[in-house]
Chain A
Amino acid sequence: MSTYKGIKGFKVQSFAADPVPAVAGWASGGNMSLGRRELGAANQAPGHSAGLVFGGYKTPPTGPTNATEEYNGTSWTSGGNMTTSRQRLAGAGTQTAGLAFGGGYPPTNHAETEEYDGSSWTNGGNLGTARGRLGGSGIQTAGLAFGGSTVAEPPSKTNATEEYDGSSWTAGGALSVPRFMLGGGGTQTAGIAFGGNTNPPPGGTNSTEEYGGTSWTSGGNLGTARYLLSGAGSQDAAIAIGGNDGSETAACELYDGSSWSTTASLSSAASYAAASGSTNEQALNMGGNAYKTATEEFSNFAEPNVFRNIGDTFYNTTEKKFKFVAEGPASWATGGSLSDARYGLWASFGLQTAAVACGGADSPNEFFATTEEYDGSSWTSGGNIPTALGSGGSLGTLTAGFGAGAYRFSPAAKIANSYEYDGSSWTSGGSLSTTRINSAGFGTQTAGAISGGTNPGNTVIGNTEEYDGSSFSSGGSLATSVRNGGSAGTQTSGIVFGGSTGSVSAVTQTYDGSSFSSNPASMNTARTSLKSGLNGTQTSTVAFGGNTGSQSNATEDWDGTSWTTSTALPATVQSHGGAGTGAAALSFGGTSPDTAATYEYTFAGTAAIETVTTS
């Protein structure tokens, strides 16, 4: 019989679920109806969607409870009540085949065992040693009870182990380290016990022991000794959750069968809680001190779920769909921050990995003549302009940059000067015929264009001046006069978009080297004081941030035909700097409040899973 590998030359992997990025962490689940601590849980209930809790010491009016709740991955619903209300009990099994045993507060120690069938509890055989604060694991017909205490103060610790066969308990091998308030997991023939309190002497232990069905042997020690922890998983894939290591802790550790390693912490510290999970890939932690109702869901996606490289193909056996990992949506990431938070930059240009930020101001009144250069990871000092300037029009690259028109901070005035940058220093260029600020620049240092802006009378203007590397000459005027617009392209194939006409604009305007024309495709979000992938083209750039009436983080991609809303900047910003192209842009600085943050935009590069279709 032919195989896919035989025909195509490679084998397609199958997964029950779409692979997800490798990450370990906790997420909030639904809250239990009843806040409680010292509760029991079906220790081996797998995953996030089949949890079971029972008993515990409930929220005021306080006291032992017999309440049972079932979890479906989203919310808890009431199950049948246990026959015997109790706290400090242990649990095993699953949501539809659960086991509750032991518990109590001395001198009323419980030996009772109850079995759950998914709706109601029935009595099973009693433990040989009544005890509370014990560990439990296994399944309903093959349970395991270990450790615990029989006297409250001072507590009497025990090393007793008992095995359940579905009707009665028999003695198993004793723990080497007697303890109570411990965590555990695994099965009757491959169990694990970890942590706990050895009082006396008081305090937590880091001891781990593994059960082979008849006796316990030492495993790797916990990184942090603790008690009142919760635990779940299997003998070679266990999780230790929270507890008390001198104080209540959120710290968690994963066991691989020989050693423990730190993993993501709970969202908040928890002790006196209960946990479930058949492995340490997915677990639940419920309730805890202060009568918590909280549920936290742990996920540990590692191999093979890192199977998410662009181009990977796989078969989802649950959905019965053939899928592949494609380039995902565009996204923003943080870059190195500017040395100085600054807004109203005089000039910003270049590429994502070779950008320039120059001039601007910060609050309350610090004005900059300084330049910073970005190399793709950090900013370093470049050459200074002669005096502190803001709000110019700019274009070009790190080694051939240009800025024209400015607001000079001191003495305050709008000026027509221009300056050229060579990657290390600024030199004077020709002056604009029309003094202006907040113009849109595009093109190169020797073939550039400065369009629109605001003149000294604070009127929004539309004329363009073209620069040839030494002087300006008149170009075509904007179809719609704007200031603070975004821009990209070349002197003969430019584009200006957004800005303010007195009110925010969404107009897209293209330049052919002699005249502007309005493009019928307006931006989705009208705005001013935005920035763009300045070194993009007339048919490919990106617009980001600005002011729409309020400060914005909106991002839009331009493909020459239409604007498409993309992933927003992580934070709103305006009067910032911009550089790069439509595929790899850069946002830096801005206000408000003033920021030094840099964000890098990548049009494609994240991975997204798509389904193969026939159409």
Chain B
Amino acid sequence: MAYKYCVAVNSGKGFINARERMEFYLSGHPGDVWVVEDNLYGNAWIERNNGVVKTKENAQAIVDAEITAAQSAYDALLEEQKLTRPRPESVVLT
């Protein structure tokens, strides 16, 4: 399966509809990065949501930066506060 990588801001209702969810692979990641199956429907979804297509490397860099920032914020928490939430995990894009 071939993928495209894009940055698209979740605009809420209608950003992804139920039919689209069935018609192509899609996964959301930190930094508004979406991995989208490179097919007719996936590309139409990217266009409809004004997605900005990135290379896989650029998309991964955006995700990494977001997670690094989130991990730094987590590490700065009090130990007791850390008990209430997980430390953000690294993500390797498909």
Interface residues of A (CB under 8 A from B): 21, 23-28, 264-265, 267-268, 297, 299, 328-329, 331-337, 343-344, 361, 363-365, 377-378, 390-391, 407, 412, 458, 529, 547, 550-551, 553, 567, 570-572, 574-575, 591-594, 597-598, 600, 602, 605-608
Contacts and interface: CB of A to CB of B under 8 A. Distances in A.
Contacts of A575: 85-86
A550 B92 CA distance: 12
A332 B74 contact: no
B94 interface: no
A337 B21 contact: no
7 contacts: A25-B47, A27-B43, A267-B53, A333-B18, A334-B16, A390-B84, A567-B21
Contacts of A343: 85
A331 B18 contact: yes
A503 to B, nearest CB: 15
B44 interface: yes
Given A334-B13, A547-B86, A551-B86, 13 more contacts: A21-B41, A27-B39, A28-B2, A264-B44, A265-B47, A333-B14, A335-B13, A567-B22, A571-B29, A592-B74, A598-B12, A600-B18, A606-B19
Given A332-B18, A333-B18, A550 B89 contact: yes
Interface residues of B, number: 46
Main secondary structure, interface of B, reads: mixed
Nearest to B74: A363
A379 to B, nearest CB: 9
B42 to A, nearest CB: 8
A66 B22 CA distance: 44
A332 B16 contact: yes
B41 A23 contact: yes
Question: Which of B10, B66, B84 has the most A CB atoms < 10 Å from its CB?
Answer: B84
B57 interface: no
Interface of B: 2, 4, 10-23, 26-30, 38-44, 47, 53, 66-67, 70, 73-74, 76-77, 80-81, 83-89
A334 B85 contact: no
Given A332-B21, A547-B86, A598-B12, A570 B43 contact: no
A567 B77 CA distance: 35
Contacts of B67: 593
B13 A606 contact: no
A377 B15 CA distance: 12
A337 B14 CA distance: 11
Contacts, number: 130
Contacts of B15: 334
A391 B88 contact: no
Nearest to A23: B44
Contact of B89 (A25, A268, A390, A551): A551
A333 B17 contact: yes
Nearest to B4: A267
B7 to A, nearest CB: 14
A331 B89 contact: no
Nearest to A601: B18
Top 8 closest A-B pairs, CB basis?
A571-B28, A25-B44, A331-B18, A334-B15, A593-B70, A592-B88, A336-B12, A331-B21
B37 to A, nearest CB: 9
Nearest to A330: B18
Given A551-B89, A571-B29, A407 B21 contact: no
Contacts of B26: 570
A378 B12 contact: yes
B21 A364 contact: no
Contact of A328 (B22, B40, B87): B22
A310 B14 CA distance: 21
B13 to A, nearest CB: 5
A572 B34 CA distance: 12
A608 B19 CA distance: 10
B85 to A, nearest CB: 6
Question: Which of B21, B23, B47 has the most A CB atoms < 10 Å from its CB?
Answer: B21
A25 B41 contact: yes
A593 B66 contact: yes
B4 to A, nearest CB: 8
Contact of A606 (B18, B27, B42, B76): B18
Contacts of A21: 19, 23, 41
B13 A377 contact: yes
B17 to A, nearest CB: 5
Given A332-B18, A333-B21, A592-B89, A344 B12 contact: no
Nearest to B87: A592
B74 A606 contact: no
B28 A570 contact: yes
Nearest to B69: A593
Nearest to A268: B53
A529 B85 CA distance: 10
Given A21-B23, A23-B41, A336-B12, A363 B18 contact: no
